[in-house]
A = this chain, B = another copy of it.
Amino acid sequence: MSEHPDADDLALAFKALSNPTRVRILQWLKDPDSFPPQLEPAEEVGVCLKHIQARAEVSQSTASQYMAALQSAGLVTSHRIGQWTHYRRDEDRIARLAEHIRTEL
């Protein structure tokens, strides 16, 4: 992860965001409490995959792959607790991406 991503890095991040459902998921995660209640506090550890899948109305495998794509693009982090994997926005990384878009694009 370089301080000043070049065109290839930028294009890579954009690729993860080139899917409307993935964009929506990222927006939903701004308000984790809008998801159904869960054992662990969503504000802290994120939202579990099941809830994301239900809201996005995609298959389990697709939901898992979407989140993996967002994670490898550095836009979310995952926290495994027991059998549940929780996903949360990486606000720092997202803010830095937005800044790079503003200044370098």
Contact = CB atoms under 8 A, between A and B. Distances in A.
Interface residues of A, number: 25
A26 B103 CA distance: 12
Contact of A17 (B11, B21, B23, B95): B11
A39 to B, nearest CB: 28
A40 interface: no
A58 interface: no
Contacts of A98: 98, 101-102, 105
A57 to B, nearest CB: 14
Contacts of A101: 97-98, 101
30 contacts: A7-B20, A7-B24, A7-B27, A8-B20, A10-B17, A10-B20, A10-B23, A11-B17, A11-B19, A11-B20, A11-B22, A11-B23, A14-B14, A14-B17, A14-B18, A17-B105, A23-B105, A26-B105, A27-B104, A27-B105, A94-B105, A95-B102, A97-B101, A98-B98, A98-B101, A98-B102, A98-B105, A99-B102, A101-B101, A102-B102
